Structure 1
Amino acid sequence: MIKALNDRIVVIGAEGSSNVTAVLTKDGVVIVDTSLFPEKARKVKELVNDFFKRPIGVVVNTHYHPDHTFGNVAFEEFKIVSSELTKSFMESFDEEYLSKLPSIDKIVTPNFLFDEEYEDRNLLIKRLGGHTPDSSIIFFKQERLVVTGDLLFNGFHPEIVADSDLDAWIDALKFIETLKPIWIVPGHGEIANTESLRAMERYLMKMKRLIEGAVNLQDVMSDENFSKRKFPELFGWSLENLLHQRGS
């Protein structure tokens, strides 16, 4: 998927893969997330240069997961922005973690860090947590565009990981809605809207109720907000992670 929302915004993704967003601002092109594969990131870099014919100014990582950061190697010469927590998580990747992923010659970590928030005249980057403790959103004020990272999965089951916090995740989705965005780019899936945020919120709330025993599995799987999402194997994996959290 290569989708130009207008002459200043391009979103690049594929079926289920993480989205890469490029936005032309007065200070140059801002790229959000860099994908899992360095070769794909290099092609994205070429595409962005050809489309905008303006220099890349800043690269932003929404969170530490490799499918959003391993492509950093293609942008090593640029300012790469993330929360301090994102960089810390990336520096803690060990051999066991990396052995389960496509091989990579070099991990390039962010070189411009913030704690909870970074803001300039057109850009707000805010760490909200939820999907992961370091999950951040990027709000382009003039364009009224929010890039959510994996706080939003549109059309796919979300990946609820070992360090996910459902309460913080739900709060993050509510905060995104207060920004009144025109466009929302999810971590995975097609361009979204506020109803997509609400569907994600309902999904997480129902997962909470399932773990608490307030609803049963049949109730969940008969809900179209679950049954119509792609990658159902992620539901089972996420449920295992939540049960492990509850038992620990």
Structure 2
Amino acid sequence: MKIQKIKNRGVLFTYTTSLGWDLNIHLIMGEKYNYIIDTGLGSLSMEPIREYIKDSNKPIIVINTHYHWDHVWGNGSFQNCIIISHKLCREIIESKWEEMMDKNKQYCQGEVEMYLPNLVFEQELYFPEDKIRIIYTPGHTIDSISVIDEEEKVINVSDNIGDNLDEIIPNIYCEKELYHATLLKYMDMDFDTCISGHNVILGKEIIEKILSIL
């Protein structure tokens, strides 16, 4: 596992999986809350993050960026916390849980149990004390969301960017027009650092590059 600081209050935990791709878990340490973006492959994925913030007395807010198994399997480690997702994300996790487990259970890391998001939204949530904005950005999936740290101008777009620099366009499981609209929305936002679910840390120019390819 690799741990990288992102500016002043962000930390990126990167795991290399047995499938050959990297998986990023993003921590933002705000003034009021610690925000954990996605929960990886199970309870063992979450242990390094819990250890990192063990001396903090700030409550944890977990954010599921979309329903895919590699982003939600560690939710059970945070049953006393707020877990945020898009409304559709909660619905799809519940409906596809057994299917995801049947197909991918060999990749579980530690304990994995279905624990659904307990705070859902449709368009946007904002945490003004920490300047954290969460917005609906369909693309990779119909339920995809992004998290913007407005104080540090860092955005987490999850899997709306592909897994590596050779494949920057992700698999798209919704209408292509929705993904294009999301990319244009990103272009209007004020950020200079881009975090994704599996790729390396990138700059805003990656969005323009994807648009040019599309």
Same fold (TM over 0.5): yes
2:43 equivalent to 1:71 = no
State the TM-score, normalized to the length of structure 2.
Answer: 0.85
Q: Quick one: which of 74, 86, 110 aligns to 2:117?
A: 110
2:127 equivalent to 1:120 = yes
Amino acid at match of 2:138: G
Instruction: Measure the CA separation in 1 of the matches of 2:207 and 2:120.
Output: 27
Q: Quick one: which of 180, 193, 197 aligns to 1:187?
A: 197
Instruction: Measure the CA separation in 2 of the matches of 1:61 and 1:34.
Output: 7
Name the one with the larger strand percent: 2
Identity of aligned residues (%): 23
Equivalent in the alignment of 1:222: none
Name the one with the larger helix percent: 1
Tell me, yes or no, if the aligned pair for 2:74 and 2:112 is still in contact at 8 Å: no
* Offset, 1:91: 0.7
- Segments of structure 2 that go 5 or more residues without pairing to the other structure are none
Amino acid at match of 2:159: D
Q: Can you list the C-alpha shifts for 1:13-58, whole angstroms capped at 9, x where unaligned?
A: 13433311111112121111111232112232222336xx343431
Q: Can you list the C-alpha shifts for 1:129-172, whole angstroms capped at 9, x where unaligned?
A: 111111101111112111101111252524415x3322211221
Instruction: Measure the CA separation in 2 of the matches of 1:177 and 1:49.
Output: 36
Alignment of 1:1-248 (within 5 A): 1-15=2-16, 16-49=21-54, 53-102=56-105, 105-121=112-128, 122-153=131-162, 154-157=164-167, 158-161=169-172, 163-203=173-213, 205=214
Q: Can you list the C-alpha shifts for 1:83-109, whole angstroms capped at 9, x where unaligned?
A: 111100001015343211125641111
Amino acid at match of 1:3: Q
- Segments of structure 1 that go 5 or more residues without pairing to the other structure are 206-248
Instruction: Measure the CA separation in 1 of the matches of 2:91 and 2:11.
Output: 29
Aligned length: 201
* Offset, 1:189: 1.2
Instruction: Measure the CA separation in 1 of the matches of 2:118 and 2:189.
Output: 28
Amino acid at match of 2:60: G
Instruction: Measure the CA separation in 2 of the matches of 1:110 and 1:94.
Output: 13
State the TM-score, normalized to the length of structure 1.
Answer: 0.74
The CA RMSD measured in Å over matched residues stands at 1.9
